Chains A and B, each alone.
Chain A
Amino acid sequence: MAALWKRSKLERGADAAIYVALGVFCLATLFPLYYVFVMSVTPYSEVMRHGGFVLLPRSLTWDAYRMIFESPVVPRALRVTVSITLVGTFLNLLVTTGLAYPLSKKYLPGRSPAIVAIVFTMLFSGGMIPLYLVVNAVGIMNTLWALILPGLVSTFNLLIMKTYFENLPSEVEEAAKIDGCGDIATLTRIVLPLSLPIMATLGLFYGVGHWNAYFNGIMYLNDRSLYPIQVVLRNMIQMPNVSQELQTQNPQALARLPAETVKMATVVVAILPMLAVYPFLQKYFIQGMLLGSVKG
C-alpha cells in the first residue's frame, strides 16, 4: 500500500510539473507580443522614468499610431498588402481548384503523369535566380503581379485539396451527372458547396502567406510606393531614424516620440490582422494539417 501511495504522489508531482511548464511556455509565447504593445503605447516620459522597462504603463498614448497613420508610407503599404491578399487569395483558390478537381478524377487520362510532374517541382527547383529571370522575361517585374503570380499555386495546398475532392462521396456527383449536369456545373453547384471547409482552410493559408510575404517584395520591386507592409516594416526597424523612412510631413511631432515607440506601433499594426483571423484559422487549420499528412 505504501509503495502505491508513494508512486501516485510522485506521479502527481510529475503532472504538476508538466502543467506548470506548459503554463510557463504559454507566458513566454505571449509576453513578447504584450511587451511590444506596451512599448508602443507608453508615453516617453514614463519610459524615461522607469529606465526603459515598463510592464504596466500608468498612462497610455496613441501618438505613435497617429504618427504612422498620418505618414504617407504605412497606409500605402497597408493598402498594397490588403489588395494583394484579397486578389491573390482569390486567384490562388481559383487556379488551385481548377487544377485539383480534374486531378482528383482517377479516370481522367493523363492524370498520373501530371501529378508526377507537379510533385517533382517540390523535390527539384530552378532556385531563386532562374525564377527571377522568368519574372523579368514575363514582363511583370516591378508590378504587383510579381507578388501574386510566382506563387499562384502551392503544390502542398494543391495536394491537400485534391485529397479532399477524392474523399467526397462519388454518388452525389454521379447523381448530378445523371440529372444532366456537365463537369463544370457539377463542380460549381455540387462539389464547391460541399468544399467550404477546405476552401476556408486553404484560403486562410494563402491569405496569411500574402500578408506575411516579404521576399517577393524585395526581389521584384524597385518602386518604393509598391512596397508591402512587411518590407516597409523591416526597413523601419533597421533604420535608426524613422522619420526618413516614414517620409512624414511633421518631423517635429516625430522628434517627441522615441523611434522605438514608432517601430513597435508598426509591428503591432502588422500583427493585428493576424490576431483578428486567428480564431478562424485555428478552427480550420488543424483539420487542414491532418488532411495534408494523408499520404497519396
Chain B
Amino acid sequence: MQTTLMPTRQRSRLRDWSRRTWRYRWLYLLMVPGVCYYLVFHYLPLGGLLIAFQDYNLMKGIWGSPWVGVQHFEAFLTSPDFPRLMKNTLILSVYRIVFGMPADIILALALNEIRVRWYKRVVQTITYGPYFLSWVIVYGLTFAFLAPNAGNVNVWLTDQGHSPIAFFTTEAYFRPMLILTDMWKSTGFGAIIYLAALSTINPEQYEAAVVDGASRWRQLWHVTLPGIREVFVLLLILRIGHILDAGFEQVYIFLNARVYAVGDIIDTWVFRAGIEQLDFSKGVTTGLFKSVIGFVLVWAANRFAKKMNGSGIW
C-alpha cells in the first residue's frame, strides 16, 4: 500500500506546485530582475569571502588560487595595525553614540516644547536640510572654515597675531572635527524619528500628570522620556550592530596620512589594502572579521533588548 501511495502523492504535490507557480507566473516574472540583483550583488560576494582563506590572485581566480587556511587572520590579528584600527574604530563609533544620540534627543525634546507651529516647522525644515548634502560637500564647507591658510578661522587667527592651525592634519583636532561635522549634518534628521515617537504619546498622560501637580520638568521625566525609550533602545541596538563601521565615507573623505594614528579605521584600511594595493585576500580577511563581529553584535544586542524591553528589532 505505502509504496504505491507515496509516488502518487508526490506527483500530485508536484502538480499542485507547478499549477500554483503557473498561476502566479506574472508576479514571479516581475521579480526576476530584483532577484538577479540580490543574487549577483549580495549573495555572489558572500562566495567571494572564501578568498580570505586563499592567496588570491586576480589572474588565477578563485578556483586556481592556493588555499592557505587561517594564515591571513593570524597575520591581521597579530599585526601592529590591528590594535590601532580597533581602537580608532571603536572610539569614533562610541563618540558618535555618546555625542550624536543625545543631540538628536535634545533637539527633538526642544522642538516638542515649541507651541508656535510655524516656528517649529521652519526650525525643522532648516535643521534636517544638511542631511541631504554629500560628505564631499560637507568637507568643502569645513574646508572653507578650517583650511590651512585661506580658511576663515585661520585668517582670523593670523590677524590676531597667532599662528594658523593645521586642523586637517593635526591629530588632536581630527576626531572632534569628524564628530562636530557629523552632528551638523545629521542631528536634524536624527530628531525626526524621536519626534514621531513623541507625537504618539497620549495627551491624557500629560493631563493626568498636571492634575497630580507635576511640574513641566516632572512631566518630561515621567511622561515624555518613557515615551521615547523604545525608539532609543532600537536605535541604540542598530548603532551597536554597526559599531565597527564608524562612518566610512566621512572618515575616508576627511582622512590623510598625517592623522592615520587617530583616524585610520578598519574600513579605510581595507580600502587601501584591497583597492589601492590590490592585496585582495588581506582586505577580505579584515572585512570578513568585521562582518562577523557586526552580525554577532546585532544579534546579541537584539536579544538583550528583548529581555530588557520586551521587544527588539525582530
Given contacts A126-B46, A134-B44, contact A282 B125 (CB under 8 A): yes
CB <8 Å contact, B136 and A25: no
A 128-162 to B, binary, CB cutoff 8 A, 1 in contact else 0: 11111110101000000000011011000010000
Whole-angstrom CA separation of A237 from B31 in the bound complex: 43
Please give the distance in Å from A114's CB to the nearest CB on chain B: 8
Residue in contact with A126 in the complex, picked from B27, B275, B291, CB distance below 8 Å: B291
A26 at the interface (CB under 8 A from B): yes
CB <8 Å contact, B38 and A109: no
Secondary structure type dominating chain B contacts: helix
CB <8 Å contact, A26 and B123: yes
B295 at the interface (CB under 8 A from A): yes
CB <8 Å contact, B37 and A124: no
Candidate in A108, A129, A152, A215 with the most chain B CB atoms within 10 angstroms: A129
A270 at the interface (CB under 8 A from B): yes
Chain B residue nearest to A229 in the complex (CB): B136
Residue in contact with B137 in the complex, picked from A95, A128, A270, A290, CB distance below 8 Å: A270
Candidate in B136, B267, B288 with the most chain A CB atoms within 10 angstroms: B136
A190 at the interface (CB under 8 A from B): no
CB <8 Å contact, B193 and A19: no
A194 at the interface (CB under 8 A from B): no
CB <8 Å contact, A134 and B274: no
Please give the distance in Å from A262's CB to the nearest CB on chain B: 11
Residue in contact with B38 in the complex, picked from A124, A153, A260, A293, CB distance below 8 Å: A153
Chain A residue nearest to B103 in the complex (CB): A25
Secondary structure type dominating chain A contacts: helix
A286 at the interface (CB under 8 A from B): yes
B34 at the interface (CB under 8 A from A): yes
Please give the distance in Å from B119's CB to the nearest CB on chain A: 7
The stretch of B3-11, B70-78, B80-88, B148-156 in contact with A is B148-156
Whole-angstrom CA separation of A128 from B144 in the bound complex: 31
CB <8 Å contact, B41 and A267: no
Please give the distance in Å from B57's CB to the nearest CB on chain A: 12
Please give the distance in Å from A34's CB to the nearest CB on chain B: 11
Q: Which residues of B contact A15 (CB under 8 A)?
A: 113
CB <8 Å contact, A108 and B152: no
The stretch of B18-26, B89-97, B221-229 in contact with A is B18-26
B 107-122 to A, binary, CB cutoff 8 A, 1 in contact else 0: 1001101101001001
CB <8 Å contact, B133 and A99: no
Whole-angstrom CA separation of A117 from B134 in the bound complex: 30
Whole-angstrom CA separation of A96 from B38 in the bound complex: 11
Given contacts A102-B30, A102-B31, A109-B21, contact A230 B141 (CB under 8 A): no
Residue in contact with A35 in the complex, picked from B40, B144, B295, CB distance below 8 Å: B144
Q: Which residues of B contact A267 (CB under 8 A)?
A: 137, 140-141, 144
Interface size range on B against A: 35 or more
Residue in contact with B127 in the complex, picked from A11, A29, A182, CB distance below 8 Å: A29
A193 at the interface (CB under 8 A from B): no
Q: Which residues of A contact B111 (CB under 8 A)?
A: 22
B69 at the interface (CB under 8 A from A): no
Please give the distance in Å from B171's CB to the nearest CB on chain A: 19
Chain B residue nearest to A219 in the complex (CB): B275
Whole-angstrom CA separation of A81 from B51 in the bound complex: 34
CB <8 Å contact, A130 and B49: yes
Please give the distance in Å from A208's CB to the nearest CB on chain B: 5
Whole-angstrom CA separation of A94 from B31 in the bound complex: 11
Given contacts A109-B20, A127-B291, contact A102 B27 (CB under 8 A): yes
Whole-angstrom CA separation of A258 from B149 in the bound complex: 12
11 A-B pairs with C-beta separation under 8 A: A29-B184, A123-B298, A127-B291, A128-B275, A129-B287, A130-B44, A130-B48, A149-B41, A152-B41, A260-B144, A281-B132
Interface residues of B (CB under 8 A from A): 17, 20-21, 24, 26-28, 30-35, 37-38, 40-49, 51, 58, 107, 110-111, 113-114, 116, 119, 122-123, 125-130, 132-137, 139-141, 143-145, 147, 150, 152, 155-156, 159, 184, 188, 192-193, 196, 215-216, 241, 249, 252-253, 267, 270-271, 274-275, 280, 283-284, 287-288, 290-291, 294-295, 298
Given contacts A129-B270, A129-B287, A237-B143, 17 further A-B contacts (CB under 8 A): A23-B123, A95-B33, A102-B30, A117-B38, A123-B295, A126-B287, A126-B291, A127-B45, A127-B270, A128-B271, A130-B45, A134-B45, A134-B48, A213-B134, A233-B137, A267-B137, A293-B196
Q: What 8 A-B pairs have minimum CB-CB distances, sorted nearest first?
A: A130-B48, A126-B45, A99-B34, A127-B287, A212-B134, A52-B155, A130-B45, A267-B140
